[in-house]
Amino acid sequence: MPQRLPLPDAEALCAALAEAMRPHVDRAATALVGIHTGGVWVAERLHAALGLKLPPGSMDVSFYRDDFHQRGLHANAKTSQIPFEVDGAHIVIVDDVLHTGRTIRAAMNELFDYGRPARIDLAVLVDRGGRELPIAPTFCAHALSLPAAQMLALEQAADGGLSFRVIEK
């Protein structure tokens, strides 16, 4: 058994992330977009904690992934929903774990098909390292280093509670 670090408390990280973002968001004008699936749960938490007026959006970046030609179309792709005007908006893309940065690139590409935002920020619970693109989070609640063979996944329990789990690839 490899030595395993204790995993961070996802709920505590959500609260910390909200506090880090608070001075930088405009409650009336900032919009969140969560990336399926974990990012959507985090965006819901942040939306409530920050008391934002605009409803949170959600995106499934399956149609924009750069590994489509190797891996094919992701099963169970969800419908993206952007319930606000993207042109000129301040948007915070929200995800649970930042890894290679490829998902964020896909998410930005997808967002631009809805319009031209004035500014895009990135908020993540955990930055686990391993970047393959020049992408950095604006807000990050926790940083840790994981081997490439391990995947950090956010899970939601039946009672709605969020927690992290490590999956061996």
Partner 1 sequence: MSFMNGGGNPQLNRHGELNHLLTIEGLPREVLERILDTAAPFTEVAEREVKKVPLLRGKSVFNLFFENSTRTRTTFEIAAKRLSADVINLNINTSSASKGETLLDTADNLAAMQADMFVVRHASSGAPYLIAQHLRATGRDHIHVVNAGDGRHAHPTQGLLDMYTVRHYKKDLTQLTVAIVGDVLHSRVARSQIHALTTLGVPEVRVIGPKTLLPTGVERLGVRVFNDMREGLRGVDVVMMLRLQNERMQGALLPSTQEYFKSYGLTPEKLALAKPDAIVMHPGPMNRGVEIDSAVADGGQAVILPQVTFGIAVRMAVMAMLAGN
> Could you list the residues that contact partner 1 (CB under 8 A)?
60, 62-64, 68-69, 71-73, 75-81, 86, 109-110, 112-115
- Which residue, 30 or 80, has its beta carbon nearer to partner 1? 80
- Which residue, 81 or 100, has its beta carbon nearer to partner 1? 81
Tell me if 38 sits within 8 A of 95, measured CB to CB. Answer: yes
- Which residue, 81 or 150, has its beta carbon nearer to partner 1? 81
Report, in Å, the least distance between residue 35 CB and partner 1. 14
Task: Map residue 112 onto helix, strand or coil.
Answer: helix
Report, in Å, the least distance between residue 94 CB and partner 1. 19
Q: Is the dihedral of CA 34, 40, 46, 52 positive or negative?
A: positive
Report, in Å, the least distance between residue 120 CB and partner 1. 16
What is the DSSP code (8-state) at residue 7? P
Q: Is the dihedral of CA 83, 89, 90, 95 positive or negative?
A: positive
Report, in Å, the least distance between residue 6 CB and partner 1. 37
The two three-digit tokens of residue 149, written as one number: 């063979």
